[in-house]
Chain A
Amino acid sequence: MCKGVPKGDNNNGKGGIMQNMKVIMGNHALSYGAKLSRVEIISAYPITPQTQVVELLSEMVGSGELKAKFVNVESEHSALAVCISASLTGARAFTATSAQGLALMHELLHYAAGARTPIVMGVINRAMATPWSIWTDQNDSLSQRDTGWMQIYCESNQEVLDSVILGYKISERVMLPQMIVLEAFVLSHTSEPVEIPDQKIVDDFLPPYQNPYALTPSNPRAIGAVTSPDFYMEFRYKIQKAMDNAIEVILEEGKKFQEKFGRYWGLVDSFYAEDAEIVIVCAGAYSSTVKYAVKKAREEGKNIGVLRIRVFRPFPYEKIREYLLGKNVIVLDRNISFGAGGIFYQEIKSALFGKKKTKCAGYILGLGGRDITPSDIDGIVSDFLKRKKFDDIIFWGLKK
């Protein structure tokens, strides 16, 4: 068991008691995370590649292993609606979705954040239609980045499971909802060995949810009435303050989690990024591929490292600057904001703007599940070192 916050955020979830190991897919990691968090309401609407999440949960509820109310809703919009209203009565709620489903929920994502409901939702990154695609990219979750939800991008199934438990702890402290994001098939359907923590330790770490504003008959108040310009802005300010606060809370709870479970999950995950001259910034499961390529490159003598962004919202400005200012930064985006470019790239660039001379470029790759290979990473690094001028939007891996 590691003690203390590891230097450079590079624990990467290693450690822990490592007993009760199970080889499970990413989706089931979400299920186990929800179960261990003793969620009380689960709403389920199926969408590939999320279905296994709720299928396993329904079995757990059916067998009595998990005491929760399982609602087979008739759309994702309704799925989130159930979670929001249940959460406002003080119940811990969970759901999971992907792509079109997440997009359908969009209205309610705003709603959930505005109502300050600490819902944790599994989001399996899947490419958006039109045309239909069931493979992964990050557009679905990233296009919801303005809604007030925290977003955690996971690299491993262990991280997924742990993030759910951590998610409730953090969300319930700051009163903001949270997405635990993992890639379709690459992580959701890939089995990895995962430690299923002991329920008693989880209970110790994560107490039952108490909503101070719960709408129960003894609290005859209204939530969400029409709010005039005289009042509305302060509530928005409070959401932002909660996001600010979340940075601290994430670090605090990450530390506590490590003390209990032996694994540390922070704002970012550094793979030799502290001293590297070239840092590749990425997020999600494909970061493992990037790390593999970078490991090889380091063996060949390149001073290169990886900074995996774990927490995208709240955006960890200080950590970004700490690791990237003054360096050569390659930002990889498995997504694109049409008309503007890679989303991580935009936000990283803005974090670094005007502070210190930093060379920064962004590459868009892997859309719609196009495979990202180590040779892609090598190619990108070469391209980066070769170029004199960088376009705002650079695609990698396109057929020419």
Chain B
Amino acid sequence: MAVDLATMLGIYVYALFALGSYSFTYKDNSFFKFAEHTMVALSIAYNASVAYGYIRFTAVQPVITGKDATFLIPLVIGALFIFFFSKKYFWLYRFPIAVITGTGMGLAMSGTISAQFLDQVVATVRLPLYVVDKVLGFRPMDTLNNWLIFIMVMGTLAYFFFSITPESSLGAATSKLGLIGRWTMMVAFGSAFGNTVMTRMNLFIGVYKNLLRDYTSFLGLAALILVVATLEGQRAKKAA
């Protein structure tokens, strides 16, 4: 497959940084650090340039052309961020922070109560403990599933209920129910772990697939990393 020079260069740079990043699995080395720092620098530069473009188009232009002078207010508040670097006027930096935190918290809280609290509670309370489908009739598996949800929710709530002393009979019963809650949480954490493994593996598979697109770059750079890793190892040995 004929590849143009720009694409080839792209593959090599990609392979260089991908293998550099994964060389950490062998040991920490300067090659990895170079890849890491470049990634951080590029991300910041990219974000800054994109944000600058948006602000220029959305806020600065309307102010300059006189179309909407109200954008001057957020522009001035945003500019106060620069005082983070001033000891004398650091207090001015608190204004944009206060605006961002206040707006963010207010917006999030208003939606959280309905979308993430009430709706979840309502959905759990409404779970039928005897599921009958109009067409298929009694659904034993769905019924079992809903019973499990009911028991596990009650168990988890009981686990975090500390208002009754365990010495009382009610407290002992709550503790026993809390045991179910503990198991429920362990199952949930296990599921989360399994899904995390899936995501990490998929990230790696994505990189691996791209590396294998061009064998020469893969093998050449793998050899290069091996050399660097060996040199790094020798240097560390000498230093020790």
Note whether A and B form a binding pair. Answer: no
- Name A residues whose Cβ lies closer than 8 Å to a Cβ of B: none
Taking beta carbons and an 8 Å cutoff, which residues of B are in contact with A? none
